[in-house]
């Protein structure tokens, strides 16, 4: 416990700090808050007291109070490294990723050897899909941390992000030899093993992580997705329900835990209990941030207004003639992972996974104007650079491939821009029953950085905006470049649909594409277990199991039927 730097501290402050110190040493941070608060009121400009008050609040989960106190500490002392670092942690707990990154950046500028801040910053960049920035932070954590826990974990996470997976596994196993109770290393190793379909080993890692660190209870989400939960799993649901009462459990961990209980309940046929927990997870998400449905609808209007038939017609003049990109788009949980597994089984195709490129470059383009009346040289300059940069990304991933996939679902927003940049690229739109798609979204954990609703009327509105935009792409994009694949048809009669997909990509037929479950690549999406199974139909019309509990999503039952009929 830090004492006041003011040697002339009043007689009132000194006993308050002494009491707070005694309580903190006794492991009673909640009781230390009151004397620290009183001391801070007496000396509001004392950065050390404000910092210690913020730290005590942080330790007991009073995150807004922690943020306020830490910000006061920084105001009093703009060079207070620990205050910036702990402010980053507090902001991260609230889901304020951008502000947390700024706080970690300031902390590492003041103290470049602050390993944990580098590691935490890397994890946030990874969450946002900023690969290069994440690698840079993880490497700095490894360099500054040496043989420390965060140094070792930084090295492992850098290797994972660089797709140097065997080296990452070795690094994590070496970490666990040196530190057998490193829960984060077990959790990372579990995720790495599950990415490659080694689910039994992964499950054991997740179990060990939770046993060591109950505050990692969100790892149950990954554990239950390693295989179906059966009656042989004993009291697993009861264990997870008990874990919800873990003191100090963060919102993100609680969200994943609710989803885990829901998934286990579904596997065991208790759909009422399952939906109860899926709804609870969505309530946690809403508590971390809201989604503006009206603003999203306005953005869809702008995209439609900007991507006119006239602009699309200029694509051969404005864009690159390179046919390397294969964009796999659609709503999340619509079959995009399955289609990428199919296409990337072809020996001439490399798999890019979910790339953030167009979400970043598209947003830049979108901000530049709303009317589609940009000067031609500005459009050409932007497109030329975007095309060159994107090809650089794809070729770094698969230097010798004739085609490289990008299965970022949200590229449905930028399909028009992508076509203008690459008129010969193949854009595969994955469609699935509206209510099945929405229900699956409701049951899945997504990166916190995604501005995307996962339930209720907001998800219904988002789905309608998406369908409206897709209707526009269907009307303006060439039919041989904008290919649509229905999940229900693909799972009913795979071969003819798969042959059509491969032909649309301009590739010769290869029988390996009929065996997507044999694809050896890492799968880092929520569908990693499903991707290792032969194509199946049990997810078709899943919504019927949940019919009594659909709530707002019920609107998509009729919506989907009407919209699907209008297309076919």
C-alpha span between 93 and 230 (Å, rounded): 33
Residue that finishes a domain, picked among 89, 111, 133: 111
pLDDT greater at residue 519 or residue 8: 519
**pLDDT for residue 8:** 52
Domain that holds residue 67: 1-111
In a domain, 530, yes or no: yes
For residue 2, what is the DSSP state?
Answer: P
| Mean pLDDT value across the chain | 93
In a domain, 335, yes or no: yes
Can you tell me the mean pLDDT for 211-218?
96
Task: Give the domain CATH number at 301.
Answer: 3.40.50.300
C-alpha span between 411 and 413 (Å, rounded): 5
pLDDT greater at residue 83 or residue 367: 83
Can you tell me the mean pLDDT for 190-205?
97
% pLDDT > 90, the chain: 83
**Helical (H) or strand (E) element with 538:** none
258-267, 435-444, 522-531: range with lowest mean pLDDT: 522-531
In a domain, 510, yes or no: yes
In a domain, 466, yes or no: yes
pLDDT tens figures, 330-351: 999 999 999 999 999 999 999 9
Statement: residue 410 has pLDDT above 90: yes
Statement: residue 370 has pLDDT above 90: no
Can you tell me the mean pLDDT for 378-401?
92
In a domain, 276, yes or no: no
251 pLDDT band (50/70/90 cuts)? Answer: confident
Backbone angles phi, psi at 114, to 5 degrees: -80, 85
Contact 482, 296 (CB under 8 A): no
pLDDT greater at residue 525 or residue 271: 271
pLDDT tens figures, 173-186: 999 999 999 999 99
**pLDDT for residue 377:** 40
Statement: residue 5 has pLDDT above 70: no
Residue that finishes a domain, picked among 78, 95, 111: 111
Number of domains in the chain: 2
C-alpha span between 61 and 477 (Å, rounded): 51
pLDDT tens figures, 280-308: 999 999 987 789 999 999 999 999 999 99
Task: Give the domain CATH number at 35.
Answer: 1.25.40.10
Which regions of 271-418 does DSSP assign to beta strands (E)? 325-330, 349-351, 403-406
Statement: residue 527 has pLDDT above 60: yes
C-alpha span between 195 and 56 (Å, rounded): 38
Can you tell me the mean pLDDT for 347-360?
94
**pLDDT for residue 96:** 87
DSSP secondary structure of 441-478: HHTS---TT-----SHHHHHHHHHHHHHHHHHHHHHS-
**pLDDT for residue 7:** 54
C-alpha span between 536 and 519 (Å, rounded): 16
**What six digits make up the tokens of 298?**
């306005």
491 pLDDT band (50/70/90 cuts)? Answer: very high
In a domain, 331, yes or no: yes
pLDDT tens figures, 89-143: 999 988 788 999 999 999 999 999 999 999 999 999 998 878 899 999 999 999 9
Cross-strand bridge partners of residue 403: 349
In a domain, 147, yes or no: no
Placement of tokens 């799968």 in the chain = 523
With H, G, I as helix, E, B as strand and everything else as coil, classify residue 213: coil
Cross-strand bridge partners of residue 350: 404
**Helical (H) or strand (E) element with 117:** helix 115-128
Helices (H), 376-455: 376-397, 415-421, 434-442
Statement: residue 371 has pLDDT above 50: no
In a domain, 96, yes or no: yes
What does pTM read for this prediction?
0.87
Rounded-to-10 torsion of CA 163, 168, 169, 173: -170
Through-space distance between the first and last CA atoms of the chain, rounded to whole angstroms: 69
**pLDDT for residue 378:** 65
> Cβ–Cβ contacts within 10 Å for residue 19, how many?
17
% pLDDT > 70, the chain: 94
Residue that finishes a domain, picked among 57, 79, 111: 111
């Amino acid at each position: 416990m830090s004492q006041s730097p003011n040697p002339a501290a009043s007689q009132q402050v000194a006993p308050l700090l002494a009491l707070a110190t005694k309580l903190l040493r006794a492991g009673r941070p909640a009781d230390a808050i009151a004397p620290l608060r009183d001391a801070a009121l007496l000396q509001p400009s004392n950065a050390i007291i404000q910092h210690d008050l913020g730290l005590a609040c942080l330790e007991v989960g009073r995150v807004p109070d922690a943020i306020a106190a830490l910000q006061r500490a920084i105001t009093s002392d703009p060079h207070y490294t620990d205050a910036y670092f702990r402010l980053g942690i507090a902001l991260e707990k609230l889901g304020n990723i951008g502000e947390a990154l700024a706080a970690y950046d300031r902390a590492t500028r003041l103290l470049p050897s602050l390993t944990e801040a580098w590691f935490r910053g890397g994890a946030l960049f990874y969450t946002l899909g900023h690969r290069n920035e994440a690698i840079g932070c993880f490497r700095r954590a490894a360099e500054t941390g040496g043989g420390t826990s965060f140094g070792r974990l930084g090295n492992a996470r850098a290797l994972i992000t660089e797709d140097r997976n065997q080296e990452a596994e070795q690094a994590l196993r070496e970490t666990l030899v040196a530190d057998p109770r490193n829960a984060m290393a077990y959790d990372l190793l579990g995720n790495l093993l599950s990415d490659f379909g080694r689910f039994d080993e992964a499950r054991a890692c997740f179990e060990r992580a939770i046993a060591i660190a109950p505050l990692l209870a969100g790892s149950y989400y990954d554990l239950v997705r390693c295989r179906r939960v059966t009656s042989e799993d004993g009291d697993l649901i009861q264990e997870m329900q008990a874990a919800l009462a873990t003191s100090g459990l963060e919102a993100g961990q609680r969200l994943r835990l609710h989803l885990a209980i829901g998934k286990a309940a579904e596997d065991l046929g208790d759909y009422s209990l399952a939906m109860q927990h899926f709804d609870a997870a969505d309530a946690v998400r809403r508590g971390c941030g809201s989604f503006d449905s009206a603003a999203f609808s306005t953005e869809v209007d702008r995209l439609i207004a900007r991507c006119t038939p006239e602009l699309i017609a200029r694509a051969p003049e404005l864009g690159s003639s390179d046919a390397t990109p294969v964009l796999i788009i659609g709503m999340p949980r619509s079959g995009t992972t399955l289609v990428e597994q199919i296409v990337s089984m072809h020996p001439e195709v490399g798999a890019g996974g979910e790339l953030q490129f167009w979400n970043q470059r598209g947003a830049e383009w979108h901000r530049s104007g709303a009317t589609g009346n940009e000067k031609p040289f500005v459009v050409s300059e932007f497109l030329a650079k975007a095309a060159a940069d994107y090809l650089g990304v794809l070729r770094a991933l698969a230097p010798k491939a004739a085609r490289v996939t990008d299965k970022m679902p949200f590229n449905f927003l930028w399909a028009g821009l992508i076509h203008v940049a690459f008129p010969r690229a193949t854009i595969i739109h994955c469609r699935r029953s509206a209510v099945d798609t929405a229900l699956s979204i409701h049951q899945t954990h997504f990166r916190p950085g995604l501005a995307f609703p996962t339930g209720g009327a907001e998800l219904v509105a988002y789905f309608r905006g998406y369908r409206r935009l897709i209707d526009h792409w269907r009307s303006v994009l060439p039919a041989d470049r904008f290919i649509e694949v229905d999940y229900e048809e693909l799972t009913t009669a795979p071969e003819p649909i798969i042959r059509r997909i491969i032909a649309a990509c301009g590739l010769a037929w290869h029988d390996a594409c009929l065996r997507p479950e044999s694809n050896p690549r890492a799968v880092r999406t929520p569908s990693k277990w499903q991707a290792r199974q032969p194509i199946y139909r049990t997810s078709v019309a899943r919504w019927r199991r949940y019919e009594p509990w659909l709530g707002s999503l019920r609107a998509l039952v009729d919506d989907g039927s009407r919209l699907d009929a209008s297309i076919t």
